[in-house]
Amino acid sequence: MFGKDFAGCGAGAARPAPFLKETWWVTGLLILAGWAFPLQAQRVLFDWTKNETAGNSDWVVDHQAPLPTPQNPTGPDAWDGALSHWGYTFDTLHIPVRTLPPGHTLHYGLSDTLDLSQYDLLILPEPQNPLSSSEISAVLTFLQNGGSMVFLADHNSSDRDGDGWDSPRVWNAAFESTLGVHCNITGERYNSYSASITNVSTNPLDPIIHGPYGDVTGVGYHAGTVMTLDRNVNPTLQGHVWVNNKPQADTLVVVVCGEYGSGRFCVIGDSSPADDGTGNPGDNLYDNWHELDNSTLLLNMSFWAAPVLQREEHTTPTHGRAPVRWIQPGEQLRLDRARRYRITNVLGQVVLQGRAQTISLSSLPAGIYRLNIGKTVVTVLRGP
């Protein structure tokens, strides 16, 4: 996936690459810029059990949980959390979004709808309280069995509820010894770093920097920590963004991804890039989601960690077969006959429409789109 030096986010990867370039008729499959996947229901779970709304944070998709309300949002601001734009992007792709509410615990292997085994991606957005030993075991088992995680840390001493724990310490206590990533804390360099970061991976095949949502050239970082990687613990680790003007090495890392068992995880040392500024009006929030390439970065992280999320069910397929195939992967689609069509972006905005049998996507920038043909919906990924 990352090319010769980036395969599977590091050495020793055993899973097949999730992106296979082909031209397909879609029969129980989803096409994405010439890539095909079998169908199954997918879900994303945001955690809210670790006081993620303490202080001036509001790191939830919506304050209704586990189901965000309304259940059919008309836009990203229909939900009222500061992570609503992130969650809404999943919703536009028909990927169900749920929140694990306060008072619950992270668990794996139980027969309930909030069990991690029911989800593909867990997002831990700057947890303020430590994970219990059973919760650590649940998350690691989830990863071991093919689950995925994105973790947002923050700067040293970002203890918003005064319990002695901040997100770097929560990560270190729960996962450093197993996943091989250390978040810098008191006495360590760049533990509260702010910059418009441009020191991103120069590898042209890096899927975090050049992913399905586009290229990352700049990251807005507002008082976040950095990380140190231990490849003796986890040889699959790969940095993607670093402190400005520093070597692209295993120290001073801003974004790291890796594998554990059959699963994948990504960590960023700052929570502010996910803040869309639309949360609790009593908090000091900012629209950092649209700053530089913050949203692109977080979405690329999400879809690399959980490539299964790029699958989507078709509604009302034509005789069990979507009436479309690629005749030039990523560039031209061909329908089974001339049809009226509409193509929308992740915000639901119409970017192409008309009546044709052959549809050219060459005028569209890289990204994920929805092709609507009557009641049939196909997700299309136009690569960079």
CATH number at 300 reads 3.40.50.880
Cα gap 274→284, rounded to integer Å:
14
Would you say residue 197 has pLDDT above 80? yes
Torsion 109-112-115-119 (CA) sign: positive
Tell me: pLDDT of 264 over 70.
yes
The proportion of the chain whose per-residue pLDDT surpasses 70, expressed as a percent, equals 82
Closest by CA to 223, choosing from 257, 190, 256, is 190
223 and 326 fall within a common domain: no
Cα–Cα distance for residue pair 247/257, rounded to 1 Å: 18
pLDDT of residue 6: 42
What mean pLDDT, rounded, does the chain reach?
84
**Domain co-membership, 350 together with 295:** no
pLDDT(3) > 80: no
Boundary of a domain, candidates 281, 310, 339: 310
The number of folded domains in the chain is 2
CA 92 to chain centre: 14
Q: Report, as an integer, the average pLDDT of 47-71.
A: 96
Give residue 25's pLDDT: 25
324 vs 318: CA distance, rounded Å: 10
One domain for residues 191 and 94: yes
Read off the pLDDT of each residue in 341-364 and give the average, rounded to a whole number.
Answer: 84
- What mean pLDDT comes out for the span 289-298? 96
Domain boundary residue, one of 251, 279, 310: 310
**Looking at residues 277-290, what average pLDDT do you find?**
85
* Residue-number span of the structural domain to which 327 is assigned: 322-382
Q: What mean pLDDT is predicted for residues 91-106?
A: 93
Q: Are residues 175 and 306 in the same domain?
A: yes
CATH number at residue 365: 2.60.40.10
Q: Quick one: 151 and 286 in the same domain?
A: yes
pLDDT at 244 over 80: yes
Helix (H, G, I), strand (E, B) or coil at 8: helix
Mean pLDDT score, 158-178: 98
Question: Among 3-7, 113-117, 128-132, 340-344, which stretch is predicted with the lowest mean pLDDT?
Answer: 3-7
Residues 237, 278: one domain? yes
Query: Average pLDDT of 312-337?
Result: 55
Instruction: Report the candidate in 178, 277, 283 with the shortest Cα–Cα distance to residue 234.
Output: 178
Task: Confirm whether 51 is domain-assigned.
Answer: yes
Task: Assign 367 a pLDDT band (cuts: 50, 70, 90).
Answer: confident
| Residue 81 pLDDT greater than 60, yes or no | yes
Question: Rounded to whole angstroms, how far apart are CA atoms 344 and 361?
Answer: 12
